[in-house]
Chain A
Amino acid sequence: MSAERDDLRDEGIARMWREHVRDEPPAALDDTIRAAARRAVGAKPQVTTAVAEAREPWRWWMPLAAAATIGAIAVGVLQNLPRDADEPTVVSDAVNAESAARARPTSPVPPAAAPAPAPMPEAVPQKKVAPPASEPELRDRTPLPMPRLQANKPDTAAKRSDAPSEAKEAFVPQPPADARQIDANMDKLKQEQVGALEKRAQPADDLARRNERDAGQSFAASPPPASAPAREPAREQKDAVDATAPAPESRAKVRAFAPPAQSTQAAAGGRAAAEPQAMAVTPPEGFVAEIRRRLAAGDRDGAVRELQRFRRTHVDADARLPDDLKAFAASVAR
């Protein structure tokens, strides 16, 4: 075929054609075609379309999900919000009547005379929405006992002008009765405390009287037992009063708050002054005389016990012993 083609080919015409016919497309057309060719293989519209289709479902449910989330949050917040005070709520008569019936027989004190408890609410406010149709009928037929919530909120009770008058009276506070009851209770408590203190001071008084007796009988030269112990209990009593007494600026409050206690403490002052006497230290001569007496009587055990007491009350008990008793003290272990 190519040989046949070469036979037809005229080299003179072909050379003339190559020399004189050199038409070529313009450069702008070349650029346009090359750019189109590059765009055709470089744009990849299939990939772009796939990405757009993949993103499309993600876009449409986003507003829906956001709206659902916001709605759920709003419903939750509204349900957790407290009810409005102006909302038409009423306490059911049946429930309060039952609770009142349960409370009346068991309460030993009438409501007016009952001691008012601490101003702590006993129960969480309970609101029950009654049917709208029966609310006015119940209110007109039976007097509503004041609920506890309204008892704790006098202003709320006062606002309800349509509440029964007896309910209002039942919850009027009575401060004079409460004050008297508190004073009575406080006096009773103070008396019990004074009695306990007297019982506790009784053995100490006995011991003090015995020491005084022993000292007066055995040693006339021994220091007067009543002088030193008399000063020390007085000082101790003063310290005790100062320690228990509040600050000067608050003493007036204490006096006004608990006057019976103050008077009770003054009455027991004499007995309290005798208590330090029981705690007075027996002089060494008293112990020495007692030990000799017991040894002379043949009561060695008693002498040993007395020596041990002497050692407990005086650190230098062995040094204070006379020479004739040091041998005995050496035989008794410390």
Chain B
Amino acid sequence: MPLRASMARPHTGRAMPDAPRARPKDEVGDDAGDEALMLAYAAGNAGAFDRLYARHRGGVYRYLVRHVGNAGVADELFQDVWMNAIKARASYVPTAKFATWLYTLAHHRLVDHWRSRGSVRIDSLDDEGDEETGALVDAIPGSRVDEPETRVASSAARERIDAALRALPSAQRDAFLLHIESQMSLAEIASLTGVGEETVKSRVRYAYAKLRSTLGDLA
């Protein structure tokens, strides 16, 4: 699926004042930030990409697989997200954190995936109704309700966690996953999802509350 320009450049604001500049090849330190690694990779340092990939591979994958509930689909989406990042390396500008840029690519890819299915309303992620959201999530073809997850461990705790996560509205689940996996701030999540910061704060708070009520004994 082609990468849209809006996905390649999720943020068009001013450059960050403390944004690190690109370093020459093989001179990226171990404590270098994500932005420096991405700039180094754009300059031709393949090792910088390896380090960047190692930092974010798990979070992006869990974000996708927790949304789609299917490992195969998650693999496809995961590969598309990183391929888009590789293609957009030359146009990458560190106007924001690299994680925000990367999860924006993942979020847009996820929306495209649901749009291509055609059976789910796109605006469901922004729907605040818990009942409607739950119904829409259950209507997703190949969801975790109908298909077993072959790539996920089948422990009892995982089953309970997955069940509790499925019970969350998609907007709250998306806000919770971005909050716990990407380490993004509320403002960044709000910018990514296109809603207000308070809305994101509310979604995250509701999500944590429901999960605690369901999984209190595990926490």
Contact = CB atoms under 8 A, between A and B. Distances in A.
B19 interface: no
Interface stretch (B7-15, B46-54, B105-113, B129-137): B46-54
Interface stretch (B27-35, B58-66, B118-126, B140-148): B58-66
B218 interface: yes
A30 B212 CA distance: 34
A8 interface: yes
Contact of A2 (B45, B89, B185, B215): B185
A43 to B, nearest CB: 11
Interface string A23-64: 111100110111011101110000000000000000000000
A25 B218 CA distance: 25
A89 to B, nearest CB: 77
Q: Which of A23, A26, A33 is the most central at the interface, judged by chain B CB atoms within 10 Å of its CB?
A: A23
B139 interface: no
A141 interface: no
B180 interface: yes
Nearest to A35: B46
A21 B161 contact: yes
Given A12-B219, A16-B218, A25 B208 contact: no
B83 A10 contact: no
Interface in A7-26: 8-10, 12-17, 19-26
Given A30-B57, A37-B41, A16 B86 contact: no
Contacts of A1: 185-187
Given A25-B57, A26-B75, A40 B86 contact: yes
Interface string A140-175: 000000000000000000000000000000000000
B78 interface: yes
B208 A23 contact: no
A4 B201 contact: yes
A102 interface: no
A5 interface: yes
B185 A25 contact: no
B179 A8 contact: yes
Q: Which of A36, A41, A42 is the most central at the interface, judged by chain B CB atoms within 10 Å of its CB?
A: A41
Contacts of A37: 41, 46, 49-50, 53, 82, 86
A16 B215 contact: yes
Nearest to B89: A40
Given A1-B185, A2-B185, A33-B53, A8 B208 contact: yes
Interface of B is mostly: helix
B6 interface: no
B179 A5 contact: yes
A20 B217 CA distance: 13
Nearest to A8: B204
| Interface magnitude class on chain A | 20 to 34
Contacts of A34: 49-50, 53
A8 B46 contact: no
A1 to B, nearest CB: 5
B116 interface: no
Interface in B81-104: 82-83, 86-87, 89
A248 B155 CA distance: 133
Contacts of B179: 5, 8-9
Given A8-B201, A10-B208, A20-B155, A15 B79 contact: no
A252 B219 CA distance: 144
Contact of A29 (B78, B89, B153): B78
A22 B153 contact: yes
Contact of B75 (A12, A19, A25): A25
Nearest to A19: B157
Q: Which of A12, A29, A33, A42 is the most central at the interface, judged by chain B CB atoms within 10 Å of its CB?
A: A33
Interface string A301-332: 00000000000000000000000000000000
B196 interface: no
Contacts of A25: 57-58, 61, 75, 78
Contacts of A38: 46, 49
A21 B158 contact: yes
A24 B158 CA distance: 14
27 contacts: A1-B186, A1-B187, A8-B208, A9-B179, A12-B212, A12-B219, A13-B208, A15-B219, A16-B215, A20-B218, A22-B58, A22-B153, A23-B151, A23-B152, A24-B57, A24-B61, A25-B58, A25-B61, A29-B75, A29-B79, A30-B57, A32-B79, A33-B53, A36-B86, A37-B49, A41-B44, A41-B46
Given A20-B218, A23-B66, A23-B152, 18 more contacts: A13-B180, A13-B219, A16-B157, A16-B215, A20-B153, A20-B155, A22-B58, A23-B62, A24-B58, A24-B61, A34-B50, A34-B53, A36-B83, A37-B50, A38-B49, A40-B86, A41-B41, A41-B49
Which 10 pairs between the two chains have the least Cβ-Cβ distance? A12-B219, A37-B49, A20-B157, A38-B46, A1-B185, A25-B61, A33-B82, A10-B208, A41-B44, A16-B219
